[in-house]
Amino acid sequence: MSKVALILGSLRRPGQGIGIASWLTPVLRQALNNPNSRHPSSSQMDVVFVDPTKPPLPLGAITDGTHVPADIRDPAKHPNPAVREWATFVSSCSGFVVLSPEYNGSYPGELKNALDHLYWEWRNKPVVVVTYGSSGGKRCATLLRSLLGGAFKMQLAQKEVAIKWPKGSANVPAEGEPPEWLKAFEPDVLEAIEEMKRLMAKPQP
């Protein structure tokens, strides 16, 4: 079974990320496996949630100065076992959805750290950016898209999903029914996933 990783970019607990990921996961799974899609998948696809507090993350700071990630093309050749596990997981994924809050106009440092441990494993992989915040996380999305599409040469879905927090709304629960206002963002998610599926169907260079 092919899989798409949903990577949560924030370690903050309690926070909104776990609740949004709980809402987003079944929406992604349904969209990826929709038989009426313009770009139907050739096989069943799963969505794997990557919690940055659990293996194969967290990785900690990059302290090994014997190489830079771009020196290593084979995931099995990373000398650090934790990085090797992360590299193997990333290599096994068909695509990614990066879910990030906006912190002070940018993305969290722990997300940058997780990305920076690898290089070739990201290259040419399709990716959808989903951000959230009081203004939808659009400044964060701009920086993330520059990083993912520029430095890592990933295939970016052009459709952005920017979840704007309604004033006075409560936290999104990690379990149970998501708040009604989140449903307004489902069409954006579905459009972005359609584009991701088109990118996944393209022959890889």
pLDDT > 70? residue 105: yes
Share above pLDDT 90 across residues of the chain, in percent, rounded to a whole number: 68
- What was the pLDDT predicted at 127? 98
- Nearest to 194, CA basis, from 39, 24, 26: 39
Give the model's pLDDT for residue 75.
95
Q: What is the pLDDT of residue 201?
A: 87
Q: Could you tell me the two tokens for 193? A: 């996933």
Please determine, for residue 103, whether its predicted confidence score (pLDDT) is greater than 90.
Answer: yes
User: What does the alpha-carbon distance between residue 117 and residue 126 come to, in Å, rounded to a whole number?
Assistant: 19
Q: Is the pLDDT of residue 63 over 80?
A: no
Residue 205 pLDDT exceeds 70: no
- Topology, domain 2-201: Rossmann fold (3.40.50)
Q: Is the pLDDT of residue 13 over 80?
A: no
% of residues, the chain, pLDDT over 70:
98
Query: Domain spans of the chain?
Result: 2-201
Which pairing describes strands 161-164 and 155-156: parallel, antiparallel, or unpaired? Answer: unpaired
Q: In the predicted model, is pLDDT for residue 25 greater than 80?
A: yes
Q: How far apart are CA 205 and CA 202, in angstroms?
A: 9
**In the block, residue with structure tokens 């079974």:** 1
Average confidence (pLDDT) over 138-143: 96
Q: Measure Cα distances from 32 to 92, 116, 135, 169 in Å.
A: 17, 27, 28, 29
| Centroid of chain to Cα 13 | 18
